[in-house]
Structure 1
């Protein structure tokens, strides 16, 4: 019996496939906190929350991406993330976060539905916390 040490991963946005290939592990920001996925993981279907996706490819350097939201599906052999917005974690991602925070605050000002307003305010809070936690060298 052989131990599986890698699995297939795709990070997909509406515009393009951001990453596709075999990886050793991935750290995901899920609703219940950050979760590490390894080969052979049990099946999951979950929501991605604003945070950092950390990918450890089989070959190459660790990659980090900023996501705002999305859906992840995991099986024992693969992991696929569908997301609207994803940015490589670099000096430009703070600008993207600031833009999204500003756009969402503009939307909040014109909303009368309290439940929707609450969810958008929580989204802004999550993005602000993410922005404040970034340590870019």
Structure 2
């Protein structure tokens, strides 16, 4: 079996550094779609939508984190994801997503431009998808 090359991954939120270590792969919710990052990835910068980051550590264990937007800076030797907000999936609070949906709906009711409305509607749709992915029906 060929071992995948490892690279350094950091998941950072304004509150704290959630992950910093050697990983074999990271799946990130890029705004263009889910993206798997591995060692020697071409340099890329991408925005992140609300979703789940799946981290596969060098030792084989996997972990999942919920992020609410941000951006990722990817270079061949590593990936840094700067999240607007991030928590471990086990620490995720279902009230948090409900509050975010409520706030986004309130913003939508006061949005003045079509562009602003579209941005908020997109975010609401991403939150709803995320809610379905995390919370048991």
The two structures share one fold, judged by TM-score above 0.5 = yes
Query: Residues 7 and 77 of structure 1 are in contact (CA less than 8 Å); yes or no, is this contact kept in structure 2?
Result: yes
- Which structure 1 residue ranges, 4+ long, deviate > 6 Å from structure 2? none
What residue in structure 2 maps to residue 66 of structure 1?
Answer: 66
Query: More displaced, 57-66 or 6-15?
Result: 57-66
Q: Does 1:116 align with 2:116?
A: yes
Specify every segment of 5 or more residues in structure 2 that has no aligned partner in the other structure, as ranges: none
Counterpart mapping for 1:45-60 below 5 A: 45-59=45-59
Q: CA deviation at 1:44?
A: 0.8
Compute the TM-score of the two structures, normalised by the length of structure 2. 0.88
* Partner Cα distance (1:68, 1:92) in 2: 12
What residue in structure 1 maps to residue 7 of structure 2?
Answer: 7
* Partner Cα distance (1:19, 1:86) in 2: 11
- Evaluate the alpha carbon distance shift between residue 133 and residue 4 of structure 1 in structure 2; reply closer, same or farther with a 3 A threshold: closer
Q: CA deviation at 1:74?
A: 0.6
Q: CA deviation at 1:57?
A: 1.1
Specify every segment of 5 or more residues in structure 1 that has no aligned partner in the other structure, as ranges: none
Query: Residues 66 and 93 of structure 1 are in contact (CA less than 8 Å); yes or no, is this contact kept in structure 2?
Result: no
CA-based RMSD of the aligned residues comes to 1.8
SS of the aligned residue for 2:90 comes to coil
Aligned residue pairs total: 134
What residue in structure 1 maps to residue 43 of structure 2?
Answer: 43
Q: CA deviation at 1:42?
A: 1.1
Residues 20-78 of structure 1 deviation map (CA, whole Å, 9 limit, x = unaligned): 11111100111221111111111111111121100011236311011121110111101
SS of the aligned residue for 2:29 comes to strand
- Evaluate the alpha carbon distance shift between residue 67 and residue 78 of structure 1 in structure 2; reply closer, same or farther with a 3 A threshold: same
